[in-house]
Amino acid sequence: MELRRHQVEALAAIRQALKESHNPAAQLATGTGKSLIIADLAANKAHRSWVLTHSQELVKQNADTYESYTGEKPGIVCAGLNRADYRSHVIFGTIQSVIGPALRDELTRPSQIIVDEAHRVNYNNGESSQYSRLFHDYPLARRIALTATPWRTDNGLIYGTDERFWFDDFCYKYTVPQGVADGWLSPLVGVETEVQLNLEGVDVGDDFVNVQVAERENNEWLQRVSRSLTLLAANRKHIAVYCPTITAAMRAAGAINTATGWNCEIVTGNMSRDERRAVLHNFASGETRVLVSVDTLTTGWDFPALDCLVCLRPTAASNLWVQILGRLTRKAEGKKNGLVLDYVGNLQRLGGVDMLDTYVRQKGNEASEPIEALPAPPREPRKVFPGVRTLAVLDPTSGEQARDGATLTVQVHNVSAVAMNTRRGVALMVNYACTTPENARIDATLFLNTDKVNTQAAEFFASRRLAVRLPVEPRVAMWQVKGALTPTHVVVRKSGRYWNVTEEIWND
């Protein structure tokens, strides 16, 4: 196997970081060959390597790539694969299967631990997670993180320089746009359909409560979804549908089959290995056109011919959304692009997460055939707030996580205001929805008072080319801000949990 240019660059960056005594993290988009990079790192005879991940499918894929690349059979420690090669020089395994014998010192001790899908590694914050216990027990082993999404939904970035982080150097990045430009990945086309699920009132903890979402996905709504597929996905051969619960999946499969006549099957995490293998075989052969899934078909499932993804599962987890979209990016013969049909607001909530820089509503872009949408009643367009809330905001002067007093310039996507009467005029709290250069989402605030002596308020309204006279009623002030010109950027300063606007920057 010949390494691609980005794989050579990634290996060089990782090895340089290791040479400088770092524990590096590297980001490589799904489908750009992480397993070959892992094989090259593990093949170094100077190191005893463990390659760990969370699923047996990934263990098998990585081990098979290593054997093809080196001609040598590695050791495997994975209960699901019935393997326990404890004394091998190179070991591929799930963290679940490795943790027990590792803590009992039954395995050959590693000099480096490579973690695939490393966004699952917890912070070093005293929690008794499996990875944390392992890293504490093997402190001399170098740690290498590989993932398409180097952030967690609960804790932000997986790398940093303080003691919370197990990885201290972000050494390489290769994104989906780069992979598409270099010809290694398939472009994606995103459509936020008019048949959008109403999620108002659904509880959101770490993510949307799936049972409540499923209750909203009733037969009437699923019939509208299914009818739209007859137009939007008419020319797609392999369609994967992501659902919140098994009940919702069964209803969706029935509705799609009735409306389209296409063969549908369901795959869930509760199925046996043989049942799952049979369903996936039918999908690969084309006997089944629509595969409806629950808690599956994310990491570890690679089917390059997949050309359409239907999302009926809303999420607030950006890395889950990236992993779902990543199933579409692999190239296959006859595949022009991957079509994302979003019925639950993920595109507007999370954007393309570095996969879809822009997306088109109701029809594809130049890379796809035209898509006609079903007519829908007029509705108020939802506001799009790009950026990922869970990413840490970095201080550009230090490269570390921003602390109190940190100042940075951020891009503005939307401005709104809340106003009230006071003795001194109208008090105005102006809210700016912004993103940092690293695409982290922050909300910044500016406080104003329309008292005549307040020159800041006068400058604020004058810059927006509004009336010379300052508003004297709260509703007028809010209305003016809502309909006014918006600065392209603002300068903000961190104060505790909040960001305060110190300057507006306008694009002439």
User: What angle (nearest 5°) sits at the alpha carbon of residue 329, between those of residues 323 and 333?
Assistant: 145
pLDDT digits (tens, 9 = 90+) for 82-129: 999 999 999 999 999 999 999 999 998 999 999 999 988 888 876 678
**pLDDT at position 451:** 67
The phi, psi pair for 145, rounded to 5°, reads -105, 130
Between 207 and 455, the higher pLDDT residue: 207
Q: In what order do the strands lie in the sheet with 308-311?
A: 188-192, 338-342, 308-311, 239-242, 290-294, 264-268
Cβ-Cβ contacts under 8 Å for 68 (sequence gap 6 or more): 1, 39
Q: Which residues pair with 256 in a beta bridge?
A: none
> Pick from 346, 384, 128: which is nearest to 242 by CA?
346
- Report whether 311 contacts 320 (CB < 8 A): no
Cβ-Cβ contacts under 8 Å for 254 (sequence gap 6 or more): 264
pLDDT for 354 beyond 80: no
**pLDDT at position 205:** 72
Query: Percent of the chain at pLDDT above 90?
Result: 42
Secondary structure (DSSP) of 255-310:
HHHHHH---EEEEETTS-HHHHHHHHHHHHHTS--EEEEES-SSTT---TT--EEE
pLDDT for 468 beyond 60: no
- Report whether 60 contacts 53 (CB < 8 A): no
The pTM for the full model equals 0.65
**pLDDT at position 101:** 95
pLDDT for 49 beyond 50: yes
Q: Is 344 exposed, middle or buried (0-12, 13-18, 19+ CB in 10 A)?
A: buried
Dist. CA 322–CA 205, nearest whole Å: 19
Q: Which residues pair with 415 in a beta bridge?
A: 432
pLDDT for 186 beyond 70: yes
Q: What is the average pLDDT across 22-33?
A: 91
**pLDDT at position 284:** 92
